[in-house]
Structure 1
């Protein structure tokens, strides 16, 4: 049975923006959630948790910062970058990527199934960075109603995930997008110009972007 989400403004700020517990990450539920600025994030020993945090990380594409060393790496890179060629492999690589301060991964088998089905439905997308036939970096995320939400990234070579972000930013900018959602601000994304905004500001940006009626990927 599909979930009915409370309004995002009802999220519990004292619990990092927790909005709802329960349900499954079905295509229907994920599309409904992301269209309202809500995303799932598993919490130990609890049913699936859905969040709309009080502070939100975003990357405004007009403020994308490419430092000298990254620009040089981009110019000299021998790697090939693709979109949606190996979604499952990217997700599995993100699942096993070591994270500072984390003993495990939030990308549970339940979420792998859910986002794989969402990809098959045309709403989840990946960016791959290849060294020959070897996947050395990438990211995946969700595009719903003209807004992209980045979910996770990984790298097996220095700068590989950053080059995936630059490729994604270039693609989104060409489609007319003004920002993309990164959910939580990280040092990795701060270097690229990401910032944190309030939930109210994020939701206003979300609605404005949705009202523009853009199609970010051909399958959306």
Structure 2
């Protein structure tokens, strides 16, 4: 595992560097330029607040092809009945802060700290990071955000304040961009996303798709 120089934006090539758990490097910093470079080559930061920054490229990779999304009958009814309203890029920082503060079952703490929020907000202002909001009666009740590398959406985190909010948002936008997004990078396995059609593919397949993108 490589220790990164905070003064040099570089990473080990994930095509040629393997680890059992997908951990590629540690250290460095969270400046926008490093984050943007990391996502373009298939890496992402994931660590506990207060610890050293860890950079990952797991093998296999958990992804979702938009045309393979699974929509249950109950979710089809929720979308048909317009239980929620949806917007894009209306309150990026608020979405990210909700992802930071929302308690999740089996998760102790969060990797979303103030430095990461500041850098992602800058990437959002540069047009690289996107937010997707879910509203109910004028209140923000769910959403998710990520980095868009060409036609690959590198999903970062999502939140729900009411039942089915984030799921409805994810389905709505995945369906909306079904013919534009080549895939959604879900990074780490979750039963929630697996139920929506996400699956594991070899790391090299993901990296090959990523290399074809024109950010």
Q: TM-score, normalised by structure 2?
A: 0.90
Q: In the alignment, does 2:192 pair up with 1:185?
A: no
- Structure 1 residue corresponding to 2:163, chosen from 158, 165, 168: 158
Q: In the alignment, does 2:89 pair up with 1:105?
A: no
Q: TM-score, normalised by structure 1?
A: 0.88
Partner of residue 3, structure 2: none
Equivalents in 2 of 1:104, 1:168: separation in Å?
28
Structure 1 pair 206/48, CA: closer, same or farther in 2 (3 Å)? same
Contact 1:61 1:180 in 2 (8 A): yes
Structure 1 pair 44/94, CA: closer, same or farther in 2 (3 Å)? closer
What do residues 187-210 of structure 1 show as CA deviations (whole Å, max 9, x unaligned)?
Answer: 1111111101121121122234x1
Equivalents in 1 of 2:49, 2:93: separation in Å?
24
Deviation at 1:161, TM superposition (A): 0.3
Equivalents in 2 of 1:45, 1:86: separation in Å?
26
Partner of residue 132, structure 1: 137
1:48-197 equivalences in 2 (<5 Å): 48-174=53-179, 176-197=180-201
1:13-24 equivalences in 2 (<5 Å): 13-14=19-20, 16-24=21-29
Aligned length: 209
Equivalents in 1 of 2:60, 2:120: separation in Å?
24
What do residues 88-113 of structure 1 show as CA deviations (whole Å, max 9, x unaligned)?
Answer: 11011111121121121121222112
**CA RMSD between the two structures:** 1.7
5+ unaligned residues in a row in structure 2: which ranges? Answer: 1-6
Deviation at 1:33, TM superposition (A): 0.6
